[in-house]
Structure 1
Amino acid sequence: MNRVLHLIVLLAILSFSTRNAAFGDEASIVSITTPRGVQQTFILIKPEHAIASVILFAGGSGKLGLSRMPPPQVGPYAFVAGNFLVRSREKFAAHEFMVAVIDAPSDQPRGMSGSFRLSTEHAIDIGPIADYLKSHADVPVWLVGTSAGSWSAARRAIAAGRDGIAAGSIDGLVLTSTVTRIAPGSSFARRFPEFARDYPDGVISMALPEIRVPTLIVSHKEDACEFTPAADAPALAKRLTGSAQVATVLLSGGDPPRSDPCEAYAAHGYYGIEREAVDRIAEFIATNSKHGPR
């Protein structure tokens, strides 16, 4: 074997080992058929003794481009590959949480639009994931969304007991870097004028009083994204009048940004303080979960 070929093979082995270590021995890709007849695929990480389960909703299009070749991995060109929740999935598992990182469903090949994230169809797709997790560990199931993923998480929490959709074993909600402003004239408003009209305050404009489960709001004080300012956290919390428990966590610090303000490697994505962010989320989940068979 010549030196160049040997180096290529060695790099391939190292890359495979790194990806495998990042996912852990109990990681897999699962695909289930939802009541709508579409395929909903997700990364599943199973700790030995789960104390809770979390369904993680990435921002952007939510399209992970998952590969079925072992070890399971996010597609190399997936826009959300570096998303805060996607890259922190093992940190959640380290808290003994069963983790599901969901991909866009099969009928959304280009990723999830804002209108789809707010649809009844999307809420329907999420329920079977919660039930799947529940069938593997009878522990509380929490929804955790970040940025545009906050629409998805909030929509499913609202759907519990509404729209003819069963609760789907949802026990709690975490909203991080929540979309709370759609600035007139912004790229988002131009692309989705109906949202600028009907949801000028983003998630705050949703039917949040219908949410009953404990809810945590996490923001970064230095988040410079125009759609997700930390200053809106109190207004968001104030709308959660029906939640069993509401708390707000404001974080600060981290590494210098190496992406645009609304992307993953900036304060918006808790860059450099991922562990602290996950630890605070895990603390709230552990404190506000009812463990054991119900």
Structure 2
Amino acid sequence: MKHLMKLSLGLALACSLQLAQAQSAPKVVDLTSRPGVIQRMLVLTPAQVPKAAVILLAGGHGGLQISPDGKINWGKDNFLVRTRQLFVDQGFLVVLTDAPSDRLSPPFLRDFRETPEHVIDIKAAIAWVRSQTKTPVWLVGTSRGTQSAAYIATQLTPPDGPDGIALSSSILVDSEGASVLSMPLEKLQIPVLIVHHEQDGCRLCPFTLIPKLMNKLTDAPRKQLLSFTGGENIGNACNAAAHHGYNGLDNEVVGKMSDWMLNK
């Protein structure tokens, strides 16, 4: 019996080691997206064949300042930045994008998210992901990242554009550029997932405007609102430690987002 127990334990440890080896360490990928411009990405690969891919677009000014060794120097608490491994655990190939090399100082992505150059940069990221996997590619944005994801999706169609988008804590009131509500969302003919905290206290993201957002998605073949309550609410209402960033709800939010994007 002891021999069998040792054998079982050894097999379990071997399987765990194989899984750890199969899931490669995060790597930094630098793309030439425009002449003389580098779009840096941090790439995380699941242990198994990816079920889908997500390109994560952080909020705030978006300048994560990813170093060559993969260290993130800004925005570690951002909802999508801090949950990137949770998406990997759900089976996604995960790509976390930084500001491009010509926007690596203030104001970073501010006043840049709705520009042709930003579209070109993320188009290059999408093309790179498609070269790595034949699975669907999603753009996932949070807070100001929703301005990027929504705008890019209105400018590009697959395969140049994403196969679907997920918008969490959407910017619904005009500020520093176009709000998501002001964009031509009726053009979208891809699945759209809307994620929002009902108690989001950020003045740019009132939950009361979510029905208006959903109603604009007239041509989306599949759309869904995932709303959440509870968790922790700390500090500035527009920061990641507040309801705006789903503080305390990471596993629940990522789990439900993943299930919907994977059409479970």
> TM-score, structure 1 length as denominator?
0.78
In structure 2, how many angstroms separate the alpha carbons of the residues matched to 1:108 and 1:169?
22
Post-superposition offset of 1:96: 0.6
Instruction: Give the corresponding residue for 1:121.
Output: 117
Q: Shift in Å at residue 37 of structure 1? A: 3.9
CA distance in 2, matches of 1:234, 1:112: 31
Q: Deviations over 1:15-56 (max 9, x none)?
A: xxxxxx9xx743111110014541000110011310100000
- The residue that corresponds to 1:144 in the other structure is 140
Aligned partners of 2:63 and 2:109 also within 8 Å? no
Q: Cα RMSD over matched residues?
A: 1.7
The answer on whether the counterparts of 2:61 and 2:108 sit within 8 Å (CA) in structure 1 is yes
List, as ranges, runs of 4+ consecutive aligned residues in structure 1 with deviation greater than 6 Å.
none
Call closer, same or farther: CA 1:25–1:104 in 2, change over 3 Å. same
Shift of 1:259: 2.6
Give the match for residue 66 of structure 2: 66
Q: Is the 8 A contact 1:32 1:39 kept in 2?
A: yes
Count of residue correspondences: 241
- Residue 28 of structure 1 is matched in structure 2 by 27
- Residue 236 (str. 1) matches residue 213 (str. 2): yes
Counterpart of 1:218 in structure 2 is: 195
**Uncovered stretches (5+) of structure 2, i.e. residues with no partner:** 1-19
> CA 1:36–1:207 in structure 2 vs 1: closer, same or farther (change >3 Å)?
farther
Does the 8 Å contact 1:230/1:250 carry over to 2? no
Among candidates 86, 91, 98, match of residue 81 of structure 2: 86
1:173 partner letter: I
Residue in structure 2 matched with residue 45 of structure 1 by the alignment: 44
Structure 1 stretches of 5 or more lacking a match? 1-20, 183-187, 289-294
Q: Which residue of 2 aligns with 1:250?
A: 227
Amino acid at match of 2:160: G
Instruction: Choose the corresponding residue for 1:281, options 232, 236, 257.
Output: 257
Identity %, equivalent residues = 34
1:213 alignment partner, SS class: coil
CA contact (8 A) 2:201 2:243 kept: yes
In the alignment, the residues of structure 2 paired with residue 61 and residue 81 of structure 1 have an alpha-carbon distance, to the nearest angstrom, of 13
TM-score by length of 2: 0.86
CA distance in 2, matches of 1:147, 1:157: 16
Aligned partners of 2:152 and 2:161 also within 8 Å: no
> Secondary structure at the residue paired with 2:163?
strand
CA distance in 2, matches of 1:41, 1:119: 18
